[in-house]
Amino acid sequence: MDPVRCSWCSEDPLYQRYHDEEWGVPCRDADSLFEMLMLEGFQAGLSWITVLRKREHYRQVYRGFDIAFMASQSDDELQALLQDPGIIRNRLKVYGARRNARAWQRLCAEHEPVEWLWQFVGGQPRIGHAATLGEIPTQTAEAKAMSKALQKADFTFVGPTICYAFMQATGMVMDHTTDCHCYPALASG
C-alpha cells in the first residue's frame, strides 16, 4: 500500500519522488535555491508537473543552471532557445531567466544568498499544521516581503504566490498536511 501523501501529489512517480524527497525539505545550497527560483518562475500559469517533466532538459540547456552561462547568453542564443520544445517556450520566461541570473550575480556580490533568502522566515523553517490543502495559504506576509525584495533587486517572475511556492519547495515553509507520511519527520525538524 502506498503511503499517504499530500492531496496535490498525483500517482505520477516523478511527482511522488519530488513530493517525498524534495518538497518541504530545508535547502541551504545556493545553487539549488537558484535553480528552484528559476523553475518556480517557469511554472507561472502552468502545472508543476509540467515543469518537473522538463527539469532535466532545463538542466541541460542551462548547463546545470550555471549562473555565469545564463547571465551571458546573447539575444540570439535566447531566440534559439525559444525553438527548443524541451522547455517552456515563453519569451518573457526565457529572457527573464537571463535577467534573473544577472540579478542573482548582483545579489551574490552584496549578500550571502542563502542567508539573504532565509531571512524572510527568520532563518528557520516555518512549520505548517494544515489538515487539508484548503487550509494552506497561497501567499503570506513573508512571501510578499520576499517578492518585494526580489523585485527591487531586479528579478522577474517573483510575485508573492511564486515566492510562497518557492518557500514551500525549498523547505523554508513546511506545508505537508498532517496526514502525509512526510509530515512527522519534517515537522519535528
d(CA 183, CA 189): 10
d(CA 101, CA 103): 5
Q: Which residues are catalytic?
A: 18, 40, 48
Cell numbers linked to 111: 549578500
Report the amino acid identity of residue 86: G
d(CA 117, CA 119): 5
Calculate ∠ Cα 147-44-58, nearest 5°.
105
Q: Is 111 labeled as ligand-binding? A: no
Give the distance, in angstroms, between the CA of residue 121 and the centroid of all CA atoms in the same chain. Answer: 15
Quick one: angle between helices 13-21 and 48-61, nearest 10? 80
Q: Is 182 labeled as ligand-binding? A: no
d(CA 106, CA 153): 8
Paired residues of 176 in beta bridges: none
Annotated binding site for Zn(2+): 6, 19, 176, 180
Annotated binding site: 6, 19, 176, 180
